[in-house]
Structure 1
Amino acid sequence: MTEDIQRRRRTPFLEAAIEWIIYTSRWLMAPVYLGLIAALAILIITFFRELYLQAPLVLTMDETDIILLVLTLVDLSLAGNLVLIILFSGYENFVSKMEGAKDDPDRPEWMGTLDFSGLKIKLIASIVAISGIHLLKIFMNINQYEERDLLWYTIIHMTFIVSGVAVALMDWIVELAHKVNAKPD
C-alpha cells in the first residue's frame, strides 16, 4: 500500500471532507480571473479609443500634448501588463497550473516560476510606474492643479515608492533568514 493511501485511511472522514472543500474552494477564484480578462478588454478598448480620437489631431498638437498622449497610451499599456501579471500568476499560484501553455515557445519565462513574493514585487513596481506616469502627466499641466493637490499627488506617489522598498526589504530579510537557518551547523 502506498504511503498516501495509508495516510488517507488514518484521516477521519470529517477532516478529509473539510480539507477537500477547502482545497477545491480555490476554484471559486476562477471567475475572478475571467473577469480580469474582461478588464483587459476594457483597457484595450480604451487604448484604441484614445488613439482613434487623438490620431487625427496629432498634426496640430504641440509637443506637450503629444507627450501627454504617449504617456496616456503607455499608462494603459502598463495597466494591461499589470492585469496580465495578476491573471497569470494569480491563477497559477492559487488555482491551477496552466498545463496547456507548458510547452508553448512563447510562454513568458517568469510564468510558473513567479512565487507570491515575486508577484508582490512585480505588482508594486507596476503600480509605482503607473503612478509615476500619472504624476508626470500632472506636472506637464502643472498650472491646472492647486498646490495642495500637487502635494498630495506627490505624497501618494512617494507612499507607493516607500511601500515598494519596504516590501522588497521584508522579502530580502525573509530570504536572508531562510539562508541562515538552512546552513548546516
Structure 2
Amino acid sequence: MKRFETAFEHLLFSSRWLMAPVYLGLILAMLVLLVKFGKQAWELLSHLFSATGSEVIVGVLTLVDIALIMNLLIIIIFSGYENFVSKMEDLHGHKDRPDWMGHIGFSDLKIKLIGSIVAISGIELLKGFMDVGKLDDRELAWMVGIHVTFVVSGLLYAVMDRLQRGGGEAH
C-alpha cells in the first residue's frame, strides 16, 4: 500500500507540468498582443496629422492598455511557473533577471492581478469618456459600475490579504 501511495504522490507532484502548456499559450497570447500593438501603433502614426487630440489620446491609451496586459502576462507567466511548476534555477545569476522574480507568492500575484485589472478598467473607462459622443448613458453607466466593482473588489481583497497576514509588513 505504501508503494501505491508513493507512486500516487509522485503522479500528483508531476501533474504540475500540465501547467507548462498553459504558460506557453500565454506566451502565444503575448505574440497576438504584440501584433495588435503594432497594428494600433501603425494606425496612430498613419493618422497622426489628421486625427483630433482625443483620437490621439485614445490611440495612446490603447497602446498603454496593451502594454499593461502584456506586463501582467509576464508576471503571471514567470511567477506562476516558478510557484506552481519549477524554479528557474539556471537564471538566478542572469543580469537581466527581474528583482521580483522568485519573490512573488500566490497572494502577491493575486494582488498584482487585481491591481492590473483595475488599471486596465480605468484606461478603458477613460477611453470611453474620451469618446463620450459614441456611447450612450447606459453604456457609460455600465463602464463606471464595472470599474467601481473592480476597485471595491481590489480593496476588499487587499484588506482580506492584510488581515490574513496579521497586518504585518507591507508587500
TM-score range, shorter chain: over 0.9
What displacement does 1:178 show? Answer: 8.1
| Percentage of identical aligned residues | 49
Question: What does the per-residue CA deviation read over 1:73-110, in whole Å, with 9 as the maximum and x for residues that have no partner?
Answer: 00000010111111001100000011222111211111
> Aligned residue for 1:8?
none
Matched residue count: 169
| Residue range with higher mean Cα deviation, 26-35 or 55-64 | 55-64
Cα distance, 1:65–1:177 mapped onto 2, change above 3 Å: closer
Aligned with residue 118 of structure 2, among 107, 122, 128: 128
Counterpart contact for 2:33–2:66, Cα < 8 Å? yes
What residue identity is the alignment partner of 2:120?
I
> Aligned residue for 1:12?
2
TM-score, normalized by length of structure 2? Answer: 0.95
Which structure's CA Rg is the greater one?
1
Per the alignment, in what secondary structure is the counterpart of residue 60 of structure 1?
coil
| Residue segments in structure 2 that go unaligned for 5+ positions in a row | none
What displacement does 1:118 show? Answer: 0.5
Aligned with residue 51 of structure 2, among 54, 58, 61: 61
> Aligned residue for 1:48?
38
Question: What does the per-residue CA deviation read over 1:14-34, in whole Å, with 9 as the maximum and x for residues that have no partner?
Answer: 111111111000000000000
| Residue segments in structure 1 that go unaligned for 5+ positions in a row | 1-10, 180-185
> Aligned residue for 1:3?
none
Aligned with residue 155 of structure 1, among 141, 145, 163: 145
After TM superposition, the runs of 4+ consecutive aligned structure 1 residues lying more than 4 A away are none
Question: What does the per-residue CA deviation read over 1:11-61, in whole Å, with 9 as the maximum and x for residues that have no partner?
Answer: 811111111111000000000000111000011110011111221210121
| Residue range with higher mean Cα deviation, 37-46 or 95-104 | 95-104
| Residue range with higher mean Cα deviation, 143-152 or 107-116 | 143-152
Mapped partners of 1:100, 1:128: distance in 2: 34
What RMSD over aligned residues (CA atoms) do the two structures have, in Å?
1.5
| Residue range with higher mean Cα deviation, 53-62 or 88-97 | 53-62
Aligned with residue 169 of structure 1, among 148, 151, 159: 159
Question: What does the per-residue CA deviation read over 1:152-183, in whole Å, with 9 as the maximum and x for residues that have no partner?
Answer: 1111111111111111111100111789xxxx
